Amino acid sequence: MDVGEKVKNLRLKMGLTQEELAERSDLTKGFISQLERGNTSPSVDTMTHIVRALGTNLAEFFSETASEPIIYPNHEAISMLDDCLGHTMHFLIGNAQKLDMEPVLLEGNPKGRSKAYDPFEGQSFGYVLEGSLILHIGNRSFVLNKGDSFYFEADGPFYIDNQGKESGKLLWILSPPYF
């Protein structure tokens, strides 16, 4: 593990300058700079001050637990067919419920539709990959064709339907996860 690189990444993630981290950890900016470049090694006491200033502790900082995956292979997607509504939902990331957003691929059969979603505190984004679909938000409706996208605050009920003669495909993302 490159301690300096990890300190730098956490510092940048928190939006701190080297000077701000130095002030919070009672060190000098020069020491933080040297640490991040790998030119010095901190004592346990100094490291304790740094990790506290970064909002963590030594155990978490030095933990080698696996990080979240970056690649989610197609064969790991979970598909759910709803014959009653006439659609298939492909959950592209299996553990998305614990993430900030949940992407799905909705395949709407002709005359099919998604389930109706209640309002929630979040956003909905979609991009039509194939066909023509209709987005319903409250009592408003919007026709979407291949290449169209939408984005809205999910503060009213909404659903998607396909009134066409061909299947439609939609990349649909809710944040936070709500599917």
- One digit per residue, the tens of pLDDT, for the chain of length 179 reads 789 999 999 999 888 999 999 999 999 999 999 999 999 999 999 999 999 999 888 988 888 766 678 888 888 888 999 999 999 999 999 778 778 899 999 999 999 999 999 999 999 999 999 999 999 999 999 999 999 999 999 999 999 999 999 999 999 999 998 88
Compute the distance between CA of residue 104 and CA of residue 178 in angstroms, rounded to an integer: 11
- The neighbour count for residue 153, using CB atoms within 10 Å, is 12
pLDDT at 26: 92
Could you tell me which of 177, 162, 159, 160 has the C-alpha nearest to residue 103? 177
107-116: buried (b, 16+ CB within 10 Å) or exposed (e) per residue? Answer: bbbeebbbee
Could you tell me which of 63, 92, 98, 96 has the C-alpha nearest to residue 75? 92
Could you tell me which of 19, 24, 28 has the C-alpha nearest to residue 48? 24
pLDDT at 117: 95
**Sequence-distant (≥ 6) Cβ neighbours of residue 167 within 8 angstroms:** 107, 108, 109, 110, 130, 131
* Residue 173: strand, helix, or coil: strand
Could you tell me which of 141, 147, 139 has the C-alpha nearest to residue 168? 147
**Sequence-distant (≥ 6) Cβ neighbours of residue 87 within 8 angstroms:** 81, 106, 107, 108, 109, 112, 113, 114, 162
Q: Which domains does the chain have, with CATH numbers?
A: 3-61 (1.10.260.40), 74-175 (2.60.120.10)
pLDDT at 175: 95
Q: pTM here?
A: 0.65
